[in-house]
Amino acid sequence: MRVLRFYHISKVLLEHGLDDLIPARWQPWYARLARRSLFWLRNKHQDKSTGARIRLALQALGPVFIKFGQMLSTRRDLLPPDIANELAHLQDKVQPFDSDLAQQLILQALGIKTLDELFIDFEAKPLASASIAQVHAAILKEDGQQVVVKVIRPGIEHTIHADVELLRTFAFVVQKLLPDGKRLRPVEVVDEYQKTIIDELDLLREAANGIQLRRNFENSDALYVPHIYSDHCRKNVIVMERIYGIPVADVTALEAQGTNMKKLAERGVEVFFTQVFRDSFFHADMHPGNIFVSYNTPENPQYIGIDFGIVGTLNREDKRYLAENFIAFFNRDYRKVAELHVDSGWVPGNTNIDEFEVAIRTVCEPIFQKPLAEISFANVLLQLFNTARRFNMVVQPQLVLLQKTLLYIEGLGRQLYPQLDLWETAKPFLENWMREQIGFKAMYQKIRSNLPYWSEKLPEMPDLLYDSLQQIKSLPALQQQHMQQQLEAQRRASNCQFYTLTGATLLILSVILPAWQPSWHYSGITAVLGTIAWIRAATLKG
């Protein structure tokens, strides 16, 4: 299974000529020999651009690879324009599957015979098509509301499982063979990714995520989440309100309608940090294909989010450490950043704090208080990797989704408003959040939230207090009783051992005595005494 999938991946890559992208000087002799030996797999797309070949190859390989292409498409600072523009098509312009099959799947999922039972109108041509599902526009019969119907691609789960198993094999090899294998924890990262992408196949889970996110941002000027029609949602079909907006990557259209680009970029940062630190529930697939900007109030722009299949959460400890790290960084307190990394266990406890502080300062100080346009992300990333390797920084699989989302947000900010100062935008929000977590206000909020619980338990307090005092009063007597029981058990064990040894000795002696004393009396008496001793030992043991 894995061998066949590996061959298929190699076949697709070679037939799209992607091996030509690797400079000859980087190809060892055995790689060149292997390529020549596969002479029947020739480039079938020589007439297409490099970007188009990469897009078509990723599209042919399926959702795991398309997700990778979607993430790369947001990093226009790292890719040539040709490749970035082509990869952007993977966000919502993947080759759709047959519309008749899509309609059949919808009928089966919703338990209806014809689409007319539920919809006034249903557009057979897909409105959009992505890696895992495609979307059709429709109008609900019950209230005339314009909706979209999302349906999972048939057979996609099998492909995903095959790719994840292949990734796990690669991860296991990397973990065993590479010097940094254990530190990078590739197997755990793949396991985390598997849970994420398998969850994305369950549209009931996506519906629940969308409902939660909509509740979190109800009446918000920053983010609008469309209504989910939960009664019409199934594991492979979801029905939700149709939204109208400008794709966030269409900067030309946004500027043409007079959108306040600075405020839009700042709101993107605000929405991200609100989801992570206020709600601990964040949209973790925020590539441009899933984010739109409302046509309304361009001077006070509002985001519209769709596709809630992948969401992330943080536990209280990780959330607090992250917030403290951000604030220490914003304040240029690099020693605090170093200490927090040690306290959280992200770097070994024996790390030299002074050296780690210097390394962090070396990476962070040159980019501090600079707009995104002046920061070389590739250079920063390289320095961060080198620092992580030098100080044995362990990869945190539970934070991978957050890191990926942060990459999306940073890439989005570069496109919308390159002059954005990411640090100054985020700092006030995080400082306010930290004030709410500690101090008198935080204590008051905690007491207030727990008040129903304590009010329920308050009538029981006198009885609990009396029982506790009675137990404390009787504690010395209980301890003395327990000690006596232990002494008695030790005495019984000692006696049991004595009678066991005595009985065994007497029984052995009863067997040996006839050799010296012909009379059976002595032997018989010895055997009887040995048996009595064993019975006594058994009684004590019981």
pLDDT band at 139 (very low <50, low <70, confident <90, very high): very high
Is a pLDDT exceeding 60 seen at residue 439? no
pLDDT band at 156 (very low <50, low <70, confident <90, very high): confident
Least confident of 28-32, 286-290, 536-540: 28-32
151, 138 Cβ separation under 8 angstroms: no
355 and 245 both lie in a single domain: no
Residue 357 contacts by C-beta under 8 Å, 6 or more apart in sequence?
334, 335, 337, 338
- pLDDT, average across residues 29-40: 66
245 and 361 both lie in a single domain: no
Q: What is the pLDDT of residue 234?
A: 93
Bridge partner residues of 128 (DSSP): 135
290 and 205 both lie in a single domain: no
Q: What is the pLDDT of residue 27?
A: 66
Q: What is the pLDDT of residue 119?
A: 93
* φ/ψ (deg, to 5) at 288: -55, -25
Is a pLDDT exceeding 70 seen at residue 22? no
Q: What is the pLDDT of residue 78?
A: 62
Is 454 domain-assigned?
A: no
- pLDDT, average across residues 358-376: 76
72, 85 Cβ separation under 8 angstroms: no
Residue pLDDT, tens place only, 260-313 = 999 998 888 888 888 888 888 988 888 788 899 999 989 999 999 998 888 888
Number of domains in the chain: 4
The residue ranking higher by pLDDT, 446 or 231, is 231
Is a pLDDT exceeding 90 seen at residue 155? no
Residue pLDDT, tens place only, 91-131 = 667 788 899 999 999 999 999 899 999 999 999 999 888 77
Active site residues: 285
132 and 82 both lie in a single domain: no
158: its two tokens = 């099998």
Confidence (pTM): 0.68
Of 236, 254, 272, the position where a domain reaches its end is 254
250 and 263 both lie in a single domain: no
Is a pLDDT exceeding 60 seen at residue 327? yes
Is a pLDDT exceeding 70 seen at residue 29? no
Is 482 domain-assigned?
A: no
Is 481 domain-assigned?
A: no
72 and 111 both lie in a single domain: no
Is a pLDDT exceeding 70 seen at residue 440? no
What are the start-end ranges of the H helices in 118-239? 156-177, 181-184, 186-199, 203-216
Neighbours of 143 (CB within 10 A): 8
The residue ranking higher by pLDDT, 268 or 384, is 268
Is 470 domain-assigned?
A: no
124 and 228 both lie in a single domain: yes
408 and 495 both lie in a single domain: no
Tell me how far apart the alpha carbons of residues 534 and 165 are, in angstroms, rounded to a whole number: 62
Residue pLDDT, tens place only, 194-238 = 777 788 889 999 999 999 999 999 989 999 999 999 999 999 999
Q: What is the pLDDT of residue 371?
A: 73
Place of tokens 């509002």: 302
Pairing of strands 119-122, 133-140: antiparallel
Residue 305 contacts by C-beta under 8 Å, 6 or more apart in sequence?
213, 223, 224, 225, 283, 286, 290, 291, 292
Is 464 domain-assigned?
A: no
- pLDDT, average across residues 169-189: 69
Tell me how far apart the alpha carbons of residues 224 and 413 are, in angstroms, rounded to a whole number: 19
Give the rounded percent of residues in the chain with a pLDDT score beyond 90.
20
Is a pLDDT exceeding 60 seen at residue 77? no
187, 170 Cβ separation under 8 angstroms: no
Q: Which domain holds residue 193?
A: 99-254
Is 234 domain-assigned?
A: yes
Is 203 domain-assigned?
A: yes
Q: How many CA atoms lie within 13 A of 289 on its CB side?
A: 26
Closest CA to 55 of 83, 97, 92, 15: 83
Is 235 domain-assigned?
A: yes
User: In 3-state terms, what secondary structure has residue 248?
Assistant: coil
427 and 280 both lie in a single domain: yes
333 and 288 both lie in a single domain: yes
What is the CATH number for 211? 3.30.200.20
- pLDDT, average across residues 348-362: 85
Tell me the pLDDT of the chain averaged across its residues.
Answer: 80
85 and 109 both lie in a single domain: no
Residue pLDDT, tens place only, 451-477 = 676 677 677 777 777 777 777 777 777
Pairing of strands 133-140, 146-152: antiparallel
Of 377, 409, 437, the position where a domain reaches its end is 437
Give the rounded percent of residues in the chain with a pLDDT score beyond 70.
81
* φ/ψ (deg, to 5) at 69: -65, -35
219 and 142 both lie in a single domain: yes
- pLDDT, average across residues 358-383: 72
Of 400, 420, 437, the position where a domain reaches its end is 437
Residue 191 contacts by C-beta under 8 Å, 6 or more apart in sequence?
168, 397
